[in-house]
A and B are shown apart, each in its own frame.
Chain A
Amino acid sequence: MKTAPNIARVLGLPIATGITMCVVWHVAVTSGGVPQYLLPAPTEVARKLITSLPELLGHAAISGLEAVASFLLATALGFAGAVALVYAPLLREIFYPSIVGFQLIPKVALAPLFIVWLGTDSVSRIAFATFLSFFPVLISTMTGLQNADPNAVRLSRSLTASEWQTFVSVRIPFSLPYFFSATKVAATLAVTGIVVAEFITANAGLGFLILSSTPRMETLTIFAAILMLCFVGLLLYGAVSLLERAGRRWFKGA
């Protein structure tokens, strides 16, 4: 048995590794080994991030809001869909195989289709990102609802609880861990969906900024935008993780 993990080491080591990588990157660039237009120095990226902050924030707000909207839609629809499929056997038999089959094909390929159908404004981007992040929520929540502890369900039945009571007091709590781990996947996919959609059609947003800067070789802008996108992604992911933690704590009754 090892000694209890040292917090300083657990946190410090990965941060130190990250900083070391940045230093190596910096030295590689400033020593002239790598041309600036291919890989700008980290300090340059930081400076660009600060000087163009208002512009970047504007793009980030567009992408971020669209991602949040898609995420919320996907989780709501995914949860509702899971409940519907669990409680309507016929619906489940009709749709479930198609849904599982759908999981196996690369869904990003459908992005242009959404633009063809819904036009080039944010509706089509949100629809695509929702579509992308909807499936994990649906499938996980279904698994969760179906995997409720059978003894807890039997207990509930033995107390002559109604189907609705069993659903609310047994099935939903048992499905929450599944639901929450799926929402984390959905958070990442929502941002991915918005970026891919912005690659294809947009006149604003971080994905647009990244792609439109490529032919002009504005590497600094690309890096700053990617960094900004990481912030947006992590912010959304972090918020969902916090919610998940609260949910899990409640589930465990601690």
Chain B
Amino acid sequence: MTDAAGGFDAALSGGPDAAFIRVDDVAKTYDTGRTTIEAISNVSFQTAKGQFVAILGPSGCGKSTLLMMCAGLEPVTSGTITIAGQPMTGPRTSIGVMFQDSTLLPWKSVLENILFPIRILRRPRSEYIDRARALIEMVGLAGFEDKRPHELSGGMRQRVAICRALIYDPDILLMDEPFSALDAITRDEMNDALLDIWQRYTKTALFVTHSIREAVLLADRVLVMTDRPSTIIEDVPIPFVRPRTNEIAETVEFVRICSHLRGLIQHGHGRGQDKPGVAAIFQGNKVEAAR
């Protein structure tokens, strides 16, 4: 049935590139022993190749879990995820992942951290050194190649993490709130840097965030998730042309879209208070979840 539906949709939207990432009726439940908690229910969406899609929602709505399932790092309870025509069964090298934490290895220099995927994938290091240096140059870290992570600021560490995700040239970049641990000023800088990188290496991207501004600034489409139930409630296209700069944030259109999204989140957030929220598991609050 899924196959038939997939063929139909692909025919409608014109080829596999239009449905480069397909998420079909995906659900995720956790079994706590006494009760089952629904972390994600009935999520479906697809993104075209080269599109930058933001997944926006409040803390604990399951958006990170959704991203991890797309990365093949979490199994789905039901439904299917298909990427580039192949159903996801586990991690693959055509996907790069960025986390909230830079996850740099403290004993490796900036350059060695960026080359870490090359080591793991056993690719010839010599072929990638120039690329690594070019990436370092691009993110403005020239001269920091031999520094260790603890000598860098939080923003610099995330720049290194971006380079590390780009070094092996994956088709898809999955980003799990990569800038949420940074201060507001650094975060704006990182958004600019990411826009810039996007202009150069167009990848298909899923970007999880709880910042409305960040989502609208970066993405071509914003998928709004709520926590009760945890599902996508609206797919909002962002009309700004690229290349973008953060100046678009001052336009009336930007403000209008932001307030629309804010309304959606507040509306979704207030619904169905009696239903156990997923937030409860992440806070480890089993009592409340069971109630």
Find A3's partner among B33, B65, B74 (CB 8 Å cutoff): B33
Q: How many residue pairs bridge A and B at CB < 8 Å?
A: 13
Q: How far is the CB of B285 from chain A (nearest CB, A)?
A: 13
Find A4's partner among B65, B74, B286 (CB 8 Å cutoff): B286
A1 touches B33 (CB 8 A): no
Instruction: Type the 1/0 row for B263-291, where 1 means its CB is closer than 8 Å to any CB of A.
Output: 00000000000000000010000100000
Q: How many positions in chain B have a CB within 8 Å of any CB in the partner chain?
A: 8
Q: How many positions in chain A have a CB within 8 Å of any CB in the partner chain?
A: 4
B32 at the interface (CB under 8 A from A): yes
B247 at the interface (CB under 8 A from A): no
Instruction: Type the 1/0 row for A1-15, where 1 means its CB is closer than 8 Å to any CB of B.
Output: 101101000000000
Classify the interface of chain B: helix, strand, loop or mixed: mixed
Q: How far is the CB of A14 from chain B (nearest CB, A)?
A: 19
Write out the residue numbers on chain B whose beta carbons fall within 8 Å of the beta carbon of A4.
31-33, 286
Q: How far is the CB of B286 from chain A (nearest CB, A)?
A: 7
B30 touches A6 (CB 8 A): no
11 additional contacts (CB under 8 A) given A1-B30, A4-B31? A1-B65, A1-B74, A1-B281, A3-B30, A3-B31, A3-B32, A3-B33, A4-B32, A4-B33, A4-B286, A6-B33
Write out the residue numbers on chain A whose beta carbons fall within 8 Å of the beta carbon of B281.
1
Classify the interface of chain A: helix, strand, loop or mixed: loop
Of all chain A residues, the one with the shortest Cβ separation from B36 is: A3
Write out the residue numbers on chain B whose beta carbons fall within 8 Å of the beta carbon of A1.
30, 65, 74, 281
Of all chain B residues, the one with the shortest Cβ separation from A2 is: B30
Q: How far is the CB of B284 from chain A (nearest CB, A)?
A: 10
Of all chain A residues, the one with the shortest Cβ separation from B74 is: A1
Q: How far is the CB of A48 from chain B (nearest CB, A)?
A: 43
Of all chain B residues, the one with the shortest Cβ separation from A3 is: B31
A3 to B30 CA separation, bound complex (whole angstroms): 7
Residues of A within 8 A of B (CB): 1, 3-4, 6
A-B contact pairs, 13 of them (CB 8 A): A1-B30, A1-B65, A1-B74, A1-B281, A3-B30, A3-B31, A3-B32, A3-B33, A4-B31, A4-B32, A4-B33, A4-B286, A6-B33
Interface residues of B in 1-55 (CB under 8 A from A): 30-33
A3 to B281 CA separation, bound complex (whole angstroms): 11
Write out the residue numbers on chain A whose beta carbons fall within 8 Å of the beta carbon of B32.
3-4
A1 to B39 CA separation, bound complex (whole angstroms): 11
A4 to B286 CA separation, bound complex (whole angstroms): 10
Of all chain A residues, the one with the shortest Cβ separation from B31 is: A3
Nearest 3 interchain pairs by C-beta: A4-B32, A4-B33, A3-B31
Of all chain B residues, the one with the shortest Cβ separation from A5 is: B33
Write out the residue numbers on chain B whose beta carbons fall within 8 Å of the beta carbon of A6.
33
Of all chain A residues, the one with the shortest Cβ separation from B33 is: A4
Of all chain A residues, the one with the shortest Cβ separation from B282 is: A1
A3 to B35 CA separation, bound complex (whole angstroms): 11
Of all chain A residues, the one with the shortest Cβ separation from B281 is: A1
A3 to B33 CA separation, bound complex (whole angstroms): 8
Write out the residue numbers on chain A whose beta carbons fall within 8 Å of the beta carbon of B286.
4
Q: How far is the CB of A21 from chain B (nearest CB, A)?
A: 29
Write out the residue numbers on chain A whose beta carbons fall within 8 Å of the beta carbon of B65.
1
A3 to B74 CA separation, bound complex (whole angstroms): 13
A6 to B30 CA separation, bound complex (whole angstroms): 14
Q: How far is the CB of A252 from chain B (nearest CB, A)?
A: 14
A6 to B281 CA separation, bound complex (whole angstroms): 16
Q: How far is the CB of B128 from chain A (nearest CB, A)?
A: 34
A1 to B286 CA separation, bound complex (whole angstroms): 15
A4 to B32 CA separation, bound complex (whole angstroms): 5
A8 to B252 CA separation, bound complex (whole angstroms): 60
Of all chain A residues, the one with the shortest Cβ separation from B286 is: A4
